[in-house]
Amino acid sequence: MFKKLNLTQEDQRNLIALLAIGLILRLYAFSQIYMISIDGALQYIPVARLFFQGEYIQALLQRQLPLYPFLISVFSYITGDLEVSGQLISIIFSLLAVFPLYLIGKSLFGPKAGLWTAVFYIFHPLMLQCSVDVLKEGLLIFLLLSSVYCSLRFIQEGKRGWLIWTIVFAIVGALVRVITLEVLLIIGLWLGYRALSERVRDRKVAYPYLWIVIVVIGIIVAFIIPGMLGWEFFVEKKPYIRATNIFHRWFVYEWPRVSQIGAGALTIIGKFVEKAYPLPFLLALFGLGWRVKAQEFSAEEKYCAFLLGVLIIIFFPLLYASDRYLLPAIFLLYLWAGFGFVKLRELLDRRFTRYPIVNTIIPILVLLIMSVPFSLQPQRLDKIGRKEVGLWLREHSLSSPMIMTNIPRVAYYAGGEYLSFPLKVIPETIVRKGKREGADYLVIEEKGNSLSQSLAPFENKGDLKLVYRHPYGDKGRVISVYRL
């Protein structure tokens, strides 16, 4: 397949430059991350540990989709550390994602637009931070963009090989996040429309694909319906649980009102604009508007725009989900940002012919000034006290302790088991739950000492013993460690 990418010398130079810059940025960002994400600590690494220990069935039965934790376990044989393995996977695949994104931009608008699309990607602050964390965004973006690129090549050339690779990348991506199956849905609708026309060649391509889609949907449905296969594998997964919660909240308990739908749409659009960042977003609007006005909006662009729209719409019910879920749609939007940047430079070159180099330097400086300070700032340095307390507990505990706490990463860095606070955060219920669940430590973080003061009577009765108190930061934060 790589021979069919038709990479010119210009493409090779562009990709080498992009990978070099992206690697330098990620290595620096890696040096600036002081704690991994909560998702990495409490969701991905525990599943990876099960894979590493050979407990495959137990790992597959966890809520998380398995591919990213499985790769962490595989890489840990090289690194010797699950946390570093998760970060290494993020770095590698976030860099590899440059290839399909550049090729999509080149396919639609030419190599210069592909170059600048990829530049916006590698400098994107949120993606850069995800790329050095124990998060699956790097792997997800690579698989999703690879599927989109192969589907575009199929639309352009009609060769079944590209369709097969589209399906492969989408299904493998669904083992990371099921959102990649959207590519199959959209290309399936496109093929269905073409098959209903009188184009015999398109029917020969469409019908086998539609049978594949039917088989895939049948397998998914079999897992969705509990008990059909005597194995509730799929219904335990996070995407299914989230989908059923949304369905019951919106359509069983209470139908959404028009005002709720409107408010939710505005919230999502506001998040999208914020995380796309002003300069690339404005360039994308300029590029998109130019293509439409010039009547150059091709079928492939319409396909990508449809994908972009669906990716945003399916986010509407997830108002409080992480902004990371918006990244696939943002990078599809950046295709038009890359074109808009190139077109703007052309217009400036025509208008200001005396100093053409200035027309290149000024936009680049604006991009760097707007993105680099956010991209390369330290991650979670202000919360470093949580890691320090966790490491203190690991050093002073004989075995893996059970820790009840309102700061979960303490339990992770302590190498222990996390026990959440009760819903009602009052001293009596906290102590009662800790004793009932067999917790070894109670760890609380607060500003001031109001909660620790309310726990004083339990210290006097011997139910608690303060063993460590750790003030940190410049906001009066204090972490107190009690022995139960």
Q: Which two tokens stand for residue 24?
A: 């330098």
pLDDT, tens digit, 9 for 90 and up, residues 30-47: 998 989 998 998 889 999
Start-to-end CA span in the chain (Å): 61
- pLDDT for the residue 449: 73
For 465-479, what is the mean pLDDT? 83
DSSP secondary structure of 183-213 = HHHHHHHHHHHHHHTT-HHHHHHHHHHHHHH
pLDDT, tens digit, 9 for 90 and up, residues 287-327: 999 998 988 888 889 889 989 988 887 776 555 567 888 89
| pLDDT above 70: percentage of residues in the chain | 77
For 218-237, what is the mean pLDDT? 51
Q: How far apart are CA 420 and CA 407, in angstroms?
A: 9
Regarding predicted confidence, which is higher, 102 or 199?
102
Please state the length of the chain.
Answer: 484
Task: Find the radius of gyration of the CA atoms of the chain.
Answer: 25
Confidence of residue 231 (pLDDT cuts 50, 70, 90): very low
What is the average pLDDT score of the chain? 82
Residue 271 has pLDDT above 70, yes or no: yes
Residue 229 has pLDDT above 60, yes or no: no
- pLDDT for the residue 259: 64
pLDDT, tens digit, 9 for 90 and up, residues 424-464: 778 888 888 888 888 889 988 888 777 777 888 888 888 88
Residues whose CB is less than 8 angstroms from the CB of residue 268 and which lie 6 or more positions away in sequence, other chains included: 312, 315, 316, 319
- pLDDT for the residue 117: 94
- pLDDT for the residue 116: 92
Amino acid at 94: S
- Residue ranges and CATH numbers for the domains of the chain are 2-375 (no CATH), 381-483 (3.40.190)
User: Residue 409: helix, strand or coil by DSSP?
Assistant: helix
| pLDDT above 90: percentage of residues in the chain | 30
- pLDDT for the residue 64: 84
pLDDT, tens digit, 9 for 90 and up, residues 112-153: 999 999 999 998 989 999 999 999 999 999 999 999 999 999
- pLDDT for the residue 3: 57
Q: Which two tokens stand for residue 132?
A: 């050095």
Residue 253 has pLDDT above 70, yes or no: no
pTM across the whole model: 0.86
pLDDT, tens digit, 9 for 90 and up, residues 392-402: 999 888 788 89
Residue 413 has pLDDT above 60, yes or no: yes
CA nearest 331: which of 65, 146, 172? Answer: 146
- pLDDT for the residue 68: 95
Lowest mean per-residue pLDDT among 109-118, 326-335, 412-421: 412-421
